[in-house]
Structure 1
Amino acid sequence: MKVQRSATPIPTRNLIGGKLRQAFAHSAWKVAFSVHFFFFIAALVAIDAQAAERRAGKLSLNDAVSEALGTSPVVGQAKAAMEEQSWKQTESLSGFLPTVQISGSHLFTKRYQYTDLVFNGSPTSIPGIIPTTSAALSASIPIFDGFANISRYRAAAQLGEAAHNDADWTNFRIEEETKLHYAEALTAVKLELVAQQNVETLTDHLDQVNKTRRGGMATQFDVLRVEVQLNEAQSELLRSKDDVVLTRQKLLLTLGREASEDNREIEGNLEVPDAQTIASLKLEDRMQRKDLAALALRSQAANLSESASAAYWIPKISLGAQYILYNNLSDGFSDWNRYREAWNTGVFMTWTLFDGMTSIARSKTSIAQRVQVEKQLESARLQAPNDFEFWKRRYLYSATLYQAKVSDVKKGEESIRLAKAAFKAGVRTNSEVLDSELDLFRARAGLVNALKNCAEAKIKLELAIGKPIATSQQPVTAQR
């Protein structure tokens, strides 16, 4: 039996080369897949690490301000509004630039219009021939429109600058709001510690009163009085815990984050009041405030928009040219040798005598918008001195109260020491010791609240004058 061989044997080199190419392609695919998979896993790890960092760790004031300026939706909205106004300013250039248009048509079916004429006594119908295929290139440039294009461009430029000022003011306002909410959250944490210490102290005091009552040195009145104070302290502790959660949520809302994805601990201390610096503070030019500057620019833009709208009754003149390529000899689209040319150039005038009251309504609308912006600016200017004076007085009052509370805390600590020593000597009662302890805790809570009120007043003052206030005092390092 003969074995039939192939007429075209496969070379060994080609067979080996093909297998090598297949193996190389398979290996390259595996390497590419491994690289992509590695970068994918690295990205997931980085995202998870950032989320874990937000879930654990500490949140300082500087970190909070940086995150607010980067992730706050309010800041993003202001940036988008600034970008929008920038493109509107570009749109206003259309009043100076030429307009170029291309149009074309191709008719599938048609029926001509006929004109009846009489030649030598016999009527004749002449069709009005329409080109089956035509294309036109048109260009026009405005020459004069009552200077409305200039007014629109200047108004758009003013609005663009106003949008920049609004974005700067939004950044400043979000920074100040972040500081305020951070101070509120930090105050809530410290007040919770004070309330917790109060509960622990009253619990220990209740145990001591019960022991002394059994020894005959205290009465049931002393026990009931401490129990009432303990119940009140526990209620205050519950309220302080709620304040911690709520103020934290408010802070995270300013940062543009959800409370469930960020469990970082609030750290830091409240700033010691600097009454001397605030007392010498004066309200300078209110136009340093970016929001008032933006309103002033909007007022100017409204005046320019009103001027542009009032030019509706002026004729508009433009230069124009048109080039037409048409075929009215055949119905074929590709009969290029049948196409003909036509063109024209000239000066064109448009004078709108009546447009259904549209132009008049737009003009009156611009006037009303101008009045609104002017009144809004006037109201903001009048409000600024009142805000400045109110928060300046609030700051000075809170600073004075802080100094009083510092003294009260020192006196309260000394009062407790003396009361306990006198109680051991038998010349003071449990009620007097309890009164001293309650006075101390009230003084500590008042001290923290005074610091928070100073922080709030300072932030409101910065918003009133439109810039940060540099103080010489440092944050409190120990707030019990």
Structure 2
Amino acid sequence: MNSIEIDKSIRFLAKVKMLGLSMLASAFTLSFGQDELPSELPDTFDLNTALSFALYNNFNIRRAIEQIEEQEGIIVEVKARTRPSLTLNADYQRLDEGLSEVVDGFGVASDNTWGISLNLRQALYQGGGIKAALKAQDLTRQSVRLFLESTIMDAMLEVTTRYYGTLLARDQIEVEEQNIELLEETLEDAQNKLKAGFVSDFEVLRAEVLLANAKPALIRRRSAFRVANDQLRRSIGYGNYRRDSNNLEKVPELLGELKYELVAYDLANCLDLALSNRSELERLRLIEEARDAGLEIARSDYRPSVDLIGSYGKRKSNFSESFDDGPEGWTVGVVATWDIFDGAARKGRVRQARSQLEQSRIERDSLRLAIEVEVRQAMSEFQEAEELVNAAAKAVEQAEEALRLADSRYEAGAVNQLDVFEARYALTESRTNRLEANYRHIVAVANLKRAMGEDKTVLDSN
């Protein structure tokens, strides 16, 4: 990255401060900009690295940033209406002989005419429309910044969900591998007992079948892990990895665990936080104010407009063909315009603006209700995840004890091999359920935080 790109990164980091994401100042983030993606995957990958990279390269975030740039351009365009315009006009005409005449010996017959002028125009009064337009665009700029804020939060939630989904796929592979190791031990034990004459060929065959039936599950888990990795790449905006044989199928070591952390939330408090924190509500409030200004813009058409005009120019003399003999000088004046009747076009524009204002109010009330429903749904999913985690943890403890008892009784000859397999299968299933429960709990907490507007991105207003 060159010095210009580093400066851009530093300026962006000064504007975007993600609460709790200190990784934004890390070397990884500063190493890659929007125009310079890494040539290969890193050897290790953690959640902070994924979030940092997504902040710069997620496509939705990049689009939202460009929308801010677009809005800045619109503001420049509107502000231009408050400033004087300066134009240079020039003309030259060739005349037919029939249009050239001399009156009583005055003047010189000429077959051409020309002129050049520098013209100035400054709006003095536009019925309040310019002031209202500036206010509307400034409010729109603030709303676009809030849109970027919510876009970043949505992207961070997506990356978090994808990352832990990849961890889940990774850990599910480990559970299936442990299950296969147990089945291989069972097969080896059956083979040894067959040699000693304690069991028949049937016991060995059954162990081989059980082992063969367990391998497809491992294959599916590995495939799911590859898919989860690709989905994570898409979420963070990583699209420029090398195609050489050493890097094409490279999978970095994922850091982190699907750990359950005890947290508590109160529904009433969550609802209050959501209604005060969510940038989407604030954004619609600003849009409502902008549309109120838009109504004022429409009403300004009923008022007169006044412009100051001035020019300095030179034109061809009527008495000489010489350029130096042409008269030159300045003019200054005031032009006022007032549309008396325009076929009710102004009335139609005012009606549209009033309707747009009312629509924004309805949309804001609708979003408020939608946020409340979103929080309630997220709280319900969080409570469900809490119960599933507790149930899954208890089930693992019971399955581990059941397997220990089955192994000891099998060694004593009290149960057959099928009973041991059933105990081992139950343990594998309970471990898988615990992983999924922990994953759902992590995602539920992340969704609830997003619904409340926690970990909000703070954008510099400058």
- The answer, yes or no, to whether TM exceeds 0.5 is yes
Tell me, yes or no, if structure 1 residue 317 matches structure 2 residue 306: yes
Tell me, yes or no, if structure 1 residue 110 matches structure 2 residue 98: no
Q: Secondary structure at the match of 2:264?
A: helix
State which of 423, 426, 431 in structure 2 corresponds to 1:439. Answer: 426
Q: Give 1:135's aligned residue.
A: 116
In structure 2, C-alpha distance between the alignment counterparts of 1:211 and 1:87, rounded to whole Å: 80
Q: Give 1:76's aligned residue.
A: 62
Tell me, yes or no, if structure 1 residue 247 matches structure 2 residue 228: yes
Q: What code does the residue aligned with 1:344 have?
A: T
Tell me, yes or no, if structure 1 residue 292 matches structure 2 residue 278: no
Tell me, yes or no, if structure 1 residue 150 matches structure 2 residue 150: no
Tell me, yes or no, if structure 1 residue 93 matches structure 2 residue 93: no
Q: How does 1:304-453 map to 2 (within 5 A)?
A: 304-329=293-318, 335-353=322-340, 362-453=349-440
Say if 2:44 and 2:254, in contact at 8 Å, map to a contact too: yes
In structure 2, C-alpha distance between the alignment counterparts of 1:269 and 1:85, rounded to whole Å: 42
Q: What code does the residue aligned with 1:97 have?
A: R
Q: CA RMSD in A?
A: 3.6
- Shift of residue 329 of structure 1? 3.8
* Deviation per residue, 1:29-66 (Å, 9 max, x gap): xxxxxxxxxxxxxxxxx99x9846x4341001111111
Q: Secondary structure at the match of 2:270?
A: coil
* Deviation per residue, 1:279-314 (Å, 9 max, x gap): 785222414212221122112212211221233233
Q: Secondary structure at the match of 1:132?
A: strand
Tell me: CA distance 1:241–1:304, structure 2 relative to 1, closer, same or farther (3 Å): same
State which of 243, 258, 280 in structure 1 corresponds to 2:239. Answer: 258
In structure 1, C-alpha distance between the alignment counterparts of 2:169 and 2:354, rounded to whole Å: 50
* Deviation per residue, 1:411-462 (Å, 9 max, x gap): 2222212211111111122122111111111111111101110111111112
Q: What code does the residue aligned with 2:361 have?
A: E
Tell me: CA distance 1:385–1:233, structure 2 relative to 1, closer, same or farther (3 Å): farther
Q: Secondary structure at the match of 2:90?
A: strand
In structure 2, C-alpha distance between the alignment counterparts of 1:276 and 1:437, rounded to whole Å: 35
* Deviation per residue, 1:96-150 (Å, 9 max, x gap): 222222211233x22378599x99xxxxxx9998972211222222222221111
Tell me, yes or no, if structure 1 residue 194 matches structure 2 residue 194: no
Q: What code does the residue aligned with 1:274 have?
A: L
Q: What code does the residue aligned with 1:294 have?
A: R
214-223 or 171-180: bigger deviation = 214-223
Q: Give 2:271's aligned residue.
A: 283
In structure 2, C-alpha distance between the alignment counterparts of 1:382 and 1:146, rounded to whole Å: 38
* Deviation per residue, 1:177-204 (Å, 9 max, x gap): 2111111111111111112222332243
* Deviation per residue, 1:192-238 (Å, 9 max, x gap): 11122223322432444466578776678866765665455323222
Q: What code does the residue aligned with 1:59 have?
A: F
**Structure 1 gap segments, 5+ residues each:** 1-45, 120-125, 470-480
266-275 or 378-387: bigger deviation = 266-275
Q: Secondary structure at the match of 1:339?
A: coil
Tell me: CA distance 1:128–1:418, structure 2 relative to 1, closer, same or farther (3 Å): farther
Q: What code does the residue aligned with 2:261 have?
A: P
In structure 1, C-alpha distance between the alignment counterparts of 2:154 and 2:429, rounded to whole Å: 33
State which of 152, 176, 186 in structure 2 corresponds to 1:171. Answer: 152
In structure 2, C-alpha distance between the alignment counterparts of 1:65 and 1:77, rounded to whole Å: 17
In structure 2, C-alpha distance between the alignment counterparts of 1:171 and 1:139, rounded to whole Å: 46
Larger radius of gyration: 1
Q: What code does the residue aligned with 2:78 have?
A: S
Say if 1:405 and 1:446, in contact at 8 Å, map to a contact too: yes
In structure 1, C-alpha distance between the alignment counterparts of 2:409 and 2:264, rounded to whole Å: 41
Q: Give 2:446's aligned residue.
A: 459
Q: What code does the residue aligned with 1:237 have?
A: L
Tell me: CA distance 1:382–1:130, structure 2 relative to 1, closer, same or farther (3 Å): farther
- Shift of residue 337 of structure 1? 1.7
303-312 or 130-139: bigger deviation = 130-139
- Shift of residue 161 of structure 1? 0.8
Q: Give 2:247's aligned residue.
A: none
In structure 2, C-alpha distance between the alignment counterparts of 1:259 and 1:243, rounded to whole Å: 22
In structure 1, C-alpha distance between the alignment counterparts of 2:188 and 2:240, rounded to whole Å: 39
Say if 1:88 and 1:156, in contact at 8 Å, map to a contact too: yes
Tell me, yes or no, if structure 1 residue 270 matches structure 2 residue 264: no
In structure 2, C-alpha distance between the alignment counterparts of 1:278 and 1:447, rounded to whole Å: 25
Q: What code does the residue aligned with 2:282 have?
A: A
In structure 2, C-alpha distance between the alignment counterparts of 1:390 and 1:352, rounded to whole Å: 55
Q: Secondary structure at the match of 1:139?
A: strand
Q: Secondary structure at the match of 1:258?
A: coil
TM-score under structure 1 normalisation?
Answer: 0.76
Say if 1:64 and 1:255, in contact at 8 Å, map to a contact too: yes
365-374 or 426-435: bigger deviation = 365-374
Q: What code does the residue aligned with 1:296 have?
A: R
